[in-house]
Amino acid sequence: MSASLREPTATPLVSPGAATALLDAYRPGSDRFLASPHHTLLGRGAAADIPHDTRPLTWRVRAVLNARRRAGAPAPVVVGSVPFAPASPHSLVSPQSVQWAPPLCEDPLTALPGPLPEEGTDWQVREVPEPERYGRAVADAVKRMRSGEFTKVVLARTLELTAPDEPDLPAMLSRLARRDPAGYTFAVPSGPGRTLIGASPELLVARTGGRLTANPLGGSAPRSPDLAEDVRRAAALLESPKDLHEHAVVVDAVQEALTPFCTFLQVPERPTLVRTAAMWHLSTTVTGELADPDVTALELATALHPTPAVCGTPTEVARAVIAESEPFDRGPYTGMVGWQDADGDGEWVVTIRCAEAEGRSLRLFAGAGVVAASSPEAETAETGAKFRTFLDAVGASL
């Protein structure tokens, strides 16, 4: 296990197959599943909801965790998702019970094949907005950036998938997790009758004791099944002026947000690469030592959210452009999903490569960072490549 995140204050399952056992035990409804490179977590039931009121969210979470600890809960945590829009309702609870296991990437059983997508599912696919309209929004944003209005905006589009029957969410989650076992896989309720499910490559922030880790991504390229071409794309991404600029905007914002909390913050000068089954991403791992050990993981996450990787810069201008350009409500997409314990430790992940399931429908989300050097064709293609993570998991195609 990485030294950057200690084991939570609960007895983990340690036998081979423990992580996949939690994955296989997940059931939609009241279960909450989160897997990271450090832990696998399965929460069941709801001992306490995080209330919606005028107090800061971090205060409400702290109050619930402290109350549960005083009531004798041995290792209470809060689990769930926070949406992109500040005024939208979150979906956070303290589960009745929580099981922990080592990470999926250390479980040898993840190498076994998971359940295949159901053959013959007649998925009806609707693109919102249509690629042509999305391309026009990108072109308009580029024009405004070149005139100096703002520096970057992340524009998203969705795929609305409808099947004759309700999709098998546990099987879908299993396929997502087995495809990228070293990533961040999640399935949590996101509202009445709705489930947020996905496999994100991006850690917003983790906190353990006095140490924090953030892993901003920005700048992407689709993978290729041909090894030589895949390597060429990775090497080109590392040298792409457009993508390096996009990445630098994100890293600078993360550094600016985290510096006030730290006595020491280490930010590498150049990015490296992280890969998923579908994409290459420019990646920078930021580490720091907290000046105040009482600052919680969620406080750090809310200070960072939303980063330019999912919104843009300046933030409020980018939010306005998103509202003007996207003909849908993002809901939990590009928010954050994760957990925090009563000591303030936790992991919060950027909610990307995800879908929201409701009845027979799935809404898939994908976005691309638009800067002055962007082109409508390239950004439309990038969102199409990012949809592959989920389309492969459900056996659908564009």
Catalytic residues: 152, 202
- Whole-angstrom distance, CA of residue 156 vs CA of residue 141: 13
Amino acid letter, 4: S
Angle at 104 between CA 101 and CA 106, to 5 degrees: 90
Instruction: Please list the helix, strand and coil fractions of the chain in percent, rounded to the nearest 5, in that order.
Output: 30, 30, 40
Closest C-alpha among 166, 201, 200 to residue 186: 200
217 CB-near residues (< 8 Å, 6+ apart):
201, 202, 247, 250, 274, 281, 282, 283, 309, 350
Place of tokens 């409020």: 316
Helices (H), ranges, the chain: 18-25, 57-70, 131-146, 169-179, 227-239, 241-258, 297-304, 315-325, 376-394
- Whole-angstrom distance, CA of residue 103 vs CA of residue 8: 13
In degrees and rounded to multiples of 5, residue 371 shows phi and psi of -125, 180
Closest C-alpha among 98, 81, 312 to residue 187: 81
Collapsing DSSP to helix, strand or coil, 371 comes out as coil
Across the strands, what pairs with 100? 41
Contact 336, 325 (CB under 8 A): no
- Whole-angstrom distance, CA of residue 236 vs CA of residue 280: 11
Phi-psi region of 148 (alpha: psi -120 to 50; beta: other; left: phi over 0): left
Closest C-alpha among 302, 271, 266 to residue 286: 266
Place of tokens 């094949």: 113
Buried b (16+ CB within 10 A) or exposed e, 374-398: bebeebbebbbbbbbbbbbbbbbee
In degrees and rounded to multiples of 5, residue 301 shows phi and psi of -65, -40
